[in-house]
Amino acid sequence: MKEYKILAEKDTRSGFGEGLLEAGKENPNVVALCADLSPSVRMDLFQKEFPERFIEVGIAESNMVSIASGMALSGKIPFVGSFAAFSTGRTYDQIRQSVAYSDTNVKIAGSHAGITLGEDGATHQILEDIGLMRMMPNMVVINPCDFTQAKQATIASARYNGPVYIRYGRPKVPVFLTEDTPFEIGKALMLNEGKDVSIFATGHLVWQAILAAQELEKEGISAEIINIHTIKPLDNEAILTSVKKTGCVVACEEHLYNGGLGDSIAQLLARNYPSPMEYVGIDDQFGESGKPMQLMDKYGLNAKNIIEKAKKVISRK
């Protein structure tokens, strides 16, 4: 099992903030629009450095997306930022018509996503955003696993020509990737090669998958761990190659089963290589208020559940 060390603990939203600042330094056409939450979604770094390229639209998320679409058509590279519940749910019509259908170069940042938003409760803990965005034609969907990858993903999104949705979280989580770790939109990242089970994870569940693989190794189970940071376009080749070797799958995500990473993989396997599969995620329910890590444990978004699902799916081969 390849060894990964915790280098620090930082929130992925801060990786976005630093990545946006770097993208702004790299390209003067990068602009930022925020819906009255710039410190919370870490757009304040860009705001302070480039005040003339920052627009505070207030609590008017739908209008923010429409403004960004017009700016994109004028040659700018706009990033729009809010809580993911608002930047995807409240703005769905504008994203569909003015971003995805029009194929405009708008980057949608969704911070505070998932159950780990914690105490704010179900109204803000969006668990369906990946599904909403991946169903949009032309839309790229990215869910980075740690601070470093979030920064890389933001910079890569600014360089990419087309609509992108990037998902971020609020809690501080282990940083285990380095600046030298490769990042490419649409290219899965192999973290550990194995032969008994393929564990595909995204976002905050990637670190939990690594912890699970370490424990499974002690029991003689060799787990292949692949970080699916880009859920659309999916790295079909990497997934199929892995599953043809191991013969079974566990998909891990901080999202509803419906519409998420597991759904994407299941569709791919159904068409190409039907295989036993188990899910680690949330099954058709809203979240609730609580401490982030307590909620992760309650909903089984942890290494313990990944281990159980891995053993279960291996028994089905």
Q: What is the DSSP code (8-state) at residue 97?
A: I
Q: Which of 61, 224, 254, 278 is catalytic?
A: 61
In terms of DSSP bridges, do strands 223-227 and 189-192 run parallel, antiparallel, or are they unpaired? antiparallel
Distance in angstroms (rounded) separating the CA atoms of residues 98 and 118: 32
What tokens were used for 78? 């706009």
E strands, 162-235, in order? 164-167, 173-175, 189-192, 197-201, 223-227, 230-232
Distance in angstroms (rounded) separating the CA atoms of residues 258 and 130: 10
C-alpha angle with apex 280: 117 to 192, nearest 5 degrees?
100
DSSP-assigned letters across all residues of 43-68: -HHHHHH-GGGEEE--S-HHHHHHHH
Would you mind telling me the total number of residues written for the chain in this entry?
317
Distance in angstroms (rounded) separating the CA atoms of residues 200 and 246: 12
Q: How many CB atoms lie within 10 A of CB 107?
A: 27
For residue 101, give the amino acid letter. Y
Largest CA distance in the chain: 59
SS3 83: strand
Concerning whether 9 is annotated as a catalytic residue, the answer is no
87 φ/ψ angles, rounded to the nearest 5 degrees: -75, -15
Contact 188, 285 (CB under 8 A): no
Omega within 30 of 0 (cis) for the link into 182: no
- Active-site residue set: 61
